[in-house]
Structure 1
């Protein structure tokens, strides 16, 4: 072997460089946002304690109306997200099966239409059809949030390595076993990202439920706008933004906890 061949052989034999380490989620990163939100809420409460509210603003914020609006908003978000999950994830699974793949463009077009339609316009149509109340508001929120969960579920399942699926079938696993033990665990990160997006969308869209008689924090916002009462508007806006950030933080924490350990080690 000549010396001129040695560098070439060493280059071929050299191991690949190690993958960059995954970002480490520290205690400080996990607690910063909740601490910040607590500080914002505390500052808002102290401001309202010292604020000189006129009778109209005081009436809009008295008799537990703030806690009632907040609780209604949380209910709208939780219930709509629950129905989004039980609709979008099974539908995404079905549309990635060979027998139903031809239907996926039609279903995706319908889901895109639901999100492309302005939320206030969709809610107005539902109110005309179903009347005012929580039902119309929930259907509008659900229609608006199905797309990210559905598209991420399909993308996660389609992005699985075919060789892994073939290996699972080769060891005798049933189609259901391949789906539940291989396909879905590998698709979990993308599915959770879609759920996180849907949660934040639902918090924002739920503010429009007030126009259909569904309640929520939108009641405070619209009261502050129509009556030109800035304290009421500010409180409704701060609570909505705080709830959206808190929901996003909880979803990111769930992503970290639910993510399969094998995926973290292998990525």
Structure 2
């Protein structure tokens, strides 16, 4: 019975997806997007490559900075300042992304480096917050078991804490990266390139084809990266840990 219901539900959502794709395609053709894309494929792929480079570079730096910072906030005397620092970062996150890019431009000028710096700053909070939440959610009994086996603090962190907190940490990285895809469109305003070139040119010219030529690949890139992280989670995280976290959240 359950299998039959799942099959019907699956067919229903496939039908919804097909109808939505057909409607989206009809709308895109009506706005001239498909014709524009066929006439300028090299320009779109060039800007898509720039956009992807911005996202991957800034996300990699944010991960390299955010995970150690989140870990540091769960160690020793830094625990006393954890809430204060997270609240401060939360306030910084409320600043519009355009304002962050503008402030960075004042001190760093225009160019790709300015865009990457602003994207890193805007991407840090979800990674730091989820790293702290993941490490703080580990059962103390599990940590005691690791110490009882003679592990050093570094071994406990790498072999016990990180593997058990990985699901929550990856969720923060996934959220940060997907948000980064949309924010990176603003990089065009400081000479960083990317699909924002088409989006803002289309807005200036009131040309839907230009806007869709930038917006559609941006949305597709966000969906693709979200899917990639979903597959990564399934492959490297134990199903038992995922179930445990979902049960705790419920």
Q: Fold-level match, TM-score > 0.5?
A: yes
- Pick from 53, 78, 86 the counterpart of residue 64 of structure 2: 86
In structure 1, C-alpha distance between the alignment counterparts of 2:111 and 2:160, rounded to whole Å: 42
Deviation at 1:175, TM superposition (A): 0.9
CA distance 1:49–1:190, shift in 2 (3 Å): closer
What are structure 1's unaligned runs of at least 5 residues? Answer: 1-23
- Pick from 184, 187, 191 the counterpart of residue 213 of structure 1: 191
Structure with bigger gyration radius: 1
Aligned: 1:153 with 2:131: yes
What are structure 2's unaligned runs of at least 5 residues? Answer: 1-5
Aligned residue pairs, count: 227
In structure 2, C-alpha distance between the alignment counterparts of 1:63 and 1:97, rounded to whole Å: 51
Deviation at 1:239, TM superposition (A): 0.9
| Structure 2 equivalent of residue 239 of structure 1 | 217
Q: Is the 8 A contact 2:33 2:208 kept in 1?
A: no
Deviation at 1:167, TM superposition (A): 1.8
CA distance 1:162–1:238, shift in 2 (3 Å): same
Deviation at 1:111, TM superposition (A): 2.2
Q: Which has the higher helix share?
A: 2
In structure 2, C-alpha distance between the alignment counterparts of 1:250 and 1:167, rounded to whole Å: 34
| Structure 1 equivalent of residue 112 of structure 2 | 134
Q: Is the 8 A contact 1:114 1:143 kept in 2?
A: no
Deviation at 1:115, TM superposition (A): 1.4
In structure 1, C-alpha distance between the alignment counterparts of 2:41 and 2:216, rounded to whole Å: 20
In structure 1, C-alpha distance between the alignment counterparts of 2:138 and 2:234, rounded to whole Å: 20
In structure 1, C-alpha distance between the alignment counterparts of 2:149 and 2:232, rounded to whole Å: 32
Instruction: Pick which of 69-78 and 111-120 moved more.
Output: 111-120
Aligned: 1:118 with 2:96: yes
So what's the TM-score if we normalise by structure 1?
0.76
| Structure 1 equivalent of residue 3 of structure 2 | none
So what's the TM-score if we normalise by structure 2?
0.81
Q: Is the 8 A contact 2:70 2:132 kept in 1?
A: yes
Which SS does the other structure have where 1:235 is aligned?
A: helix
| Structure 2 equivalent of residue 69 of structure 1 | 47
